[in-house]
Amino acid sequence: MRAKSSHACLRESPRPLYLMCLEHNGPMYEKFGFRALGVEEMPRYFQRIEKLFTVAKAVRRMDEDLWVMKLE
């Protein structure tokens, strides 16, 4: 059995499709058609995750942001 390519999986996935990644990975996903969302555009679940990440980021002294991205 042949493994599906990431392009085939993306084509066959229901929309909208969301993902979370660290900021430095965002441009890679933009190549597949994902776009970064502002907090006000995120579904409530991702807004909560983003708030938790912000707290964890302060505690861990991280410089990178969490990106929530969407493919329509």
- What pLDDT, on a 0 to 100 scale, did the predictor assign at position 12? 83
Helix (H) or strand (E) holding 47: helix 44-60
Within-domain flag for 65: yes
Q: Provide the pLDDT confidence category of residue 2 given band limits of 50, 70 and 90.
A: low
Three-state secondary-structure class, residue 38:
coil
The number of domains in the chain is 1
Give the span between the Cα atoms of 50 and 67, in whole angstroms: 8
For 20-39, what is the mean pLDDT? 95
Output the pLDDT for position 1.
43
What pLDDT is stored for residue 23 in this prediction?
Answer: 94
Higher pLDDT pick, 8 / 31: 31
Q: Is residue 1 part of a domain?
A: no
Higher pLDDT, 4 or 64: 64
**Rounded to whole angstroms, what are the CA distances from 12 to 9, 32, 56?**
5, 13, 34
Domain that holds residue 61: 6-71
